[in-house]
Chain A
Amino acid sequence: MIQTVAENELSVNEKLKIRKNTYQNGKGKRISIVTGTHGDELEGQFAVWLVGDYIKKNIGCLNGTVDIYPALNPLGIDSITRGIPGFDLDMNRVFPGFSEGTMAECVCNAIVEDIKGSEVCVDIHASNIYLRELPQIRISRDTAESLVPLAKMMNIDFVWVHESATVLRSTLAHSLNSIGTKTLVVELGVGMRINKDLGYQLLNGIINLLYELGMWSEKPDFEVRQPIVSFDGAVGFVNSDASGVFVSDVEFGSEVEKGDVIGRVLNPLTAESEPVKAVCSGLLFTLREYPVVYGGSLIARILSREEEN
């Protein structure tokens, strides 16, 4: 059943509508799956299509309600705009919104109110256009105890438990977690693209989550990946010190040793180059996708082998 969660008149002959599709069978729990907060992140579009398609074809296995919100920022997706077009606002800095506020605040508030009360919310993000990410779930330290067990059900490669930054209090995940709706933030892939394999990986994760929550009757017939759970201290950041064009010399997702050359920053004018080296040994889970870099541009993140648990 397709429902409108929030709507707002635009200026000329059109309404902004945030819609969800509800799949229901039995009286079990409810989970919500949301994506499309950033208009340039499309990996979630394929993933939620797969989930919807799978549930429709196997509705008898469902015991409960699955709400799928494919586009929290439909104008952004439509115009390849990361934020809310016309506002220069990152929607994920407006939550929980305010029912008496501006258009963006009203819409964000309606979304939170609609998702509130779900057993779990899965908030799917892709990376931006600059970086490629291995499938991961990000959890702030203060919610780790309740969320890490759920994250382990999601068939992802690793879980990154990070310190909670004040600025992140305006995210959908923080807003929902702070009112008791357990919310997992999934990051995967790269902006403006769809990687089908990642979509299938996430589909399996969500079906397994449903099974573990008692909302899916059939035990999944695949082996669920057991993620590495890492804390901030285990993640090494590689930022470029040079400006130029980055070309990678390693495979994304590979193991690297401290000091290995990950790639080079080229100066096309002088034909010079600067090597970019691994700051620690471990798994290269983030790698620069967009080649042009400034000093400071993030090139890679490495999950240090030494502090894995």
Chain B
Amino acid sequence: MKKQIIYSLKSPYRENLDVIGFTFGSGEKSACIVGSTRGNEVQQMYICSQVVHALKKLERQGEITEGRSIMVVPCINYYSMNIGKRFWTMDNTDINRMFPGYEFGETTQRIADGVFRQVQGFKFGIQLASFYQSGDFLPHVKMMKTEFSQPEKMLEFGLPYALTRKPRPYDTTTLNYNWQIWETQAFSVYSYGTETVDEKASQVSVDAILRFLSAEGIVRANVKPGYVSRIIEENTMQQVHTEHGGIFKTLVKIGDTVYEGQVLGEVYNPLDGEKICEVKADKCGTVFFIYNKPLIMQNSVAYKIVDF
């Protein structure tokens, strides 16, 4: 294993921001795994740290295929993590909306540029991503639909669901999208949790990544079998909105099977405790996403339901 600073930025008042990359094996740039790009993505950093831990062990055992190399970058924006901020410390910009970056641009464009120079050129790219909506969801892998993408590769992760997403304009500056533009097959792995470390969920993601690396012949890891995934278009999922704002209580759990018309949750008046509305499923399926905060606004997505 080689540990190196892949990008460094001077700060006026803090130690340098040194982005660390771990490289395993040598030869063909086979896979690159990137953890948190935002200051609140603690679980994503943790998962990467566990991948580093696992790859160290595999390397010691000689189980990294000869002529293949893997890079892991657990955390890019630890400056924000250290002060409890999600986006960049100074100007609140999102590094994951700055790719491929610009060498002579603004600070976060420069960070994105510096990191992207190191993480591009790999055959596969895996990003540990977080959801912008507050909620819990089933572990899954996602791929942007571009001319270059091969969605069937997602099945090798063995996660319960594999989603494809048609890129929206604001997706075009993400790491995942730009990896694909530069001909890296890019995947986003979503784990339960962002700001907290969930051991069980992180192990699911670590296993999925090792399963994929094994399936591609990059490592030889002894991982338990995964799910027989299904590929689903993200926009075919049923989104269940709340008709009113208030206190939200869910009556179902992630992964539950629900039927058409079933009451999934309830919204209560936060001042007098009266029930204001019920949140019902439009059709049957599996609960993929549940909003997880007590306060909810009208028209919030409270649930996402996927066809079995």
Contact (Cβ within 8 A) B300 A93: no
Scan residues 279-309 of chain A and give those whose CB is less than 8 A from a CB of chain B: 292-298
Would you call B169 and A294 a contact (CB within 8 A)? no
A166 contact from B10, B106, B172, B298, Cβ within 8 A: B172
- Residues of A with C-beta under 8 A to B11: 243, 294
- Residue interface mask A101-115, B partner, CB < 8 A = 1: 111001000000000
A295 contact from B107, B168, B173, Cβ within 8 A: B107
Chain A residues whose C-beta falls within 8 Å of the C-beta of B252 in the assembled complex = none
CA A101 – CA B239 in complex, angstroms? 8
Give every chain A residue within 8 A of B108 (Cβ-Cβ): 296
* Residue A140 interfacial (CB < 8 Å): no
Q: Do A170 and B168 touch (CB < 8 A)?
A: yes
Most chain B Cβ neighbours within 10 Å, of A11, A267, A295, A298: A11
The smallest C-beta distance from B287 to any residue of chain A, in angstroms, reads 18
Residues of A with C-beta under 8 A to B273: none
In-complex Cβ contact of B169 among A130, A169, A267, A295 (8 A): A169
B295 to A12, Cβ gap below 8 A? yes
Interface residue B9 (Cβ < 8 Å from any Cβ of A):
yes
Shortest Cβ distance from A93 into B: residue: B170
Cα(A12)–Cα(B271), bound, Å: 8
How many angstroms between the C-alpha atoms of A268 and B172 in the bound complex? Answer: 39
Chain B residue total in the interface (Cβ 8 A): 40
Q: Are A296 and B109 in contact (CB under 8 A)?
A: yes
C-alpha gap A13/B106 in the complex (Å): 41
Task: Assess the A167–B298 pair: CB atoms within 8 A.
Answer: no
Whether B301 is near chain A, meaning CB under 8 Å from some CB there, is: yes
Q: How far is A57 from B298 in the complex, measured between Cα atoms in Å?
A: 39
Decide yes or no: A296 and B87 within 8 Å by CB, A167-B169, A243-B12 being known contacts.
Answer: no
Given A13-B271, A103-B300, A130-B91: A297 and B106 interface contact (C-beta under 8 Å): yes
Indicate if the CB atoms of B173 and A167 lie closer than 8 Å: yes
A230 within 8 A of B: no
> By the criterion CB–CB under 8 Å, are B12 and A245 in contact?
yes
Q: Which of A1-19 contact B (CB under 8 A)?
A: 8-13, 16
Q: Interface 1/0s, chain B 105-127, versus A by CB < 8 A?
A: 11111110000000000000000
Instruction: Give min CB distance, B13 to chain A, whole Å.
Output: 8
| Given the contacts A11-B246, A103-B298, A239-B104, A294 and B10 also touching, CB distance less than 8 Å | yes
A57-106 CB contacts (< 8 Å) to partner B: 82, 87-89, 93, 100-103, 106
Interface pair A170/B246, CB less than 8 Å apart = no
Say yes or no: B297 contacts A9, CB within 8 Å.
Answer: yes
Q: How far is the CB of A296 from chain B (nearest CB, A)?
A: 4
Chain B residues whose C-beta falls within 8 Å of the C-beta of A237 in the assembled complex = 104
Q: Report yes or no: B105 in contact with A10, Cβ–Cβ below 8 A.
A: no
A8-B299, A16-B297, A296-B109 given; 13 more Cβ-contact pairs under 8 Å: A8-B297, A82-B92, A167-B97, A167-B169, A167-B172, A168-B169, A242-B10, A243-B12, A245-B12, A292-B12, A293-B12, A294-B107, A296-B107
| Interface pairs A-B: 5 shortest CB-CB | A9-B298, A11-B295, A9-B245, A296-B107, A169-B169
Q: What are 24 A-B residue pairs whose CB atoms fall within 8 Å in the complex? A: A9-B298, A10-B245, A11-B247, A12-B245, A13-B271, A87-B132, A88-B86, A88-B87, A102-B300, A102-B301, A103-B297, A103-B299, A167-B170, A167-B173, A168-B169, A169-B169, A170-B168, A170-B170, A239-B106, A244-B12, A267-B12, A294-B10, A295-B107, A298-B106
